[in-house]
Structures are given as structure tokens and as C-alpha cells.
Chain A
Amino acid sequence: DGGITQSPKYLFRKEGQNVTLSCEQNLNHDAMYWYRQDPGQGLRLIYYSQIVNDFQKGDIAEGYSVSREKKESFPLTVTSAQKNPTAFYLCASSPGTGGVRSQYFGPGTRLTVL
């Protein structure tokens, strides 16, 4: 089955630790995205990547980092610099770039900082 997988589903982190969220897609999509979702806030763009080895900051990139070494993978690292990392994180992909193509979402990772 084609789709997007995110792991783990739940993640707990102590303050001061970095943590990496996995996102893999087998849709052969060029573009991938990371969004953060907080209650009542909708989705906010963290980072996006249009091609391998290239990525751009979104609206709330501070405290996060990404890499795009392979077309199918776009991991997100939440660093200790992110002041309020507890949230639901969603990865998405699309066959083209920008907002002219439909995005397809993974099931999400819920990160809780203890």
C-alpha cells in the first residue's frame, strides 16, 4: 500500500533532550512537509522540502531541524532550543511543490515533554 508512515506514534522526552521524528513516504512524491498542530491553532508549517538535499524554513522553524538525504525520507529533529515542543506533529507529501497540489498526510506523532 502506498502512503506515509510516521514513527513513533507517541514520544516522551525529558527537557533538554533532542528527539527525532521519522517520516517515510512511498508515493514517489517530490515535496515533503512538517506541520505542528496545537489545540485550537490549526496546522502551522515548520519546514518543507521540494527536492532531495534541499529544504526551507516554514513559519515556525525555530528550535527544529530537518534533513532530506533521500526522496522518501524527511526526519524532523526537535531540539532542546524549542521552548514548547509538546504538540502533535504531522508529516505530509505532495507530487509537486507549493500549494497547487493536494497534500497527503501521515498519521502523526504526539510528542510530550516531561
Chain B
Amino acid sequence: AQSVTQPDIHITVSEGASLELRCNYSYGATPYLFWYVQSPGQGLQLLLKYFSGDTLVQGIKGFEAEFKRSQSSFNLRKPSVHWSDAAEYFCAVGTPKALNFGKGTSLLVTP
């Protein structure tokens, strides 16, 4: 079954520092992969998605992600984090029914 794993439950970065959030997927074929962000008490907002083609995907809010088939990974990156990026981040993989989500990574941004 298609699934994703987010190895880091919490990550803390300093404002202005670079960020990388990890996501590993399990799927035999080329997966449909997504990154979403959730602010406390809110719904989820789509940051970016990968379906095929260029393995480096650009998203909103300055985020990007790179699909690496050899490592079964789809890590999310941002060159310089802003305090407003503090939130919960979810990686998801498409299935015939819906999306399977990872358990999320909570990002804390320090001054």
C-alpha cells in the first residue's frame, strides 16, 4: 500500500536559516506526492505537488521539494525560514481512493 513516513516529529530552526523536512514514501510505481502546511486550528494548505517530469518542484511561499526515486524521498526545502513558517507540515501520497498522509512534522522557528 502507498504510504509516507515523516521521520522528524519536531524540528527547530532559527529565523533566516535553511530548512529541510524529510519525507520517505513507499510505492512501487511513480507516486503522486504532495506537501501541505497547517497553521494551528486551521485547515491544510497545499504547498506543492509532484506528479511527473522535473524532479525539482517549486511551490508557494518560497518552498521547493525534490523527488529522488533512488532514495524514495520527497524532501521539502526552504533557503531562509521566516517566523511565519512555524506550523505543522504534512507529506502525502496519492492512492486510488484519496491521499495517505504522514504523521506530520511540527516546525518551530526561533528568533
Contacts and interface: CB of A to CB of B under 8 A. Distances in A.
A98 B98 contact: yes
Interface residues of A, number: 26
Interface of B: 2, 9, 32, 34, 36, 41-46, 49, 51, 90, 92-104
Given A40-B103, A99-B32, A56 B44 contact: no
A88 to B, nearest CB: 8
Q: Lowest 4 CB-CB distances: which A-B pairs, in order?
A: A99-B94, A105-B43, A42-B103, A42-B101
A86 interface: no
Contacts of A44: 101
A58 B98 contact: yes
Contacts of A100: 32, 51, 94
Contacts of B51: 100
A4 to B, nearest CB: 8
A72 B107 CA distance: 34
A75 interface: no
Nearest to A40: B103
B8 to A, nearest CB: 13
B97 A56 contact: yes
A56 B9 CA distance: 31
Contacts of A103: 46, 98-99
Contacts of A48: 97-98
A58 B103 CA distance: 17
Nearest to B45: A105
A108 B49 contact: no
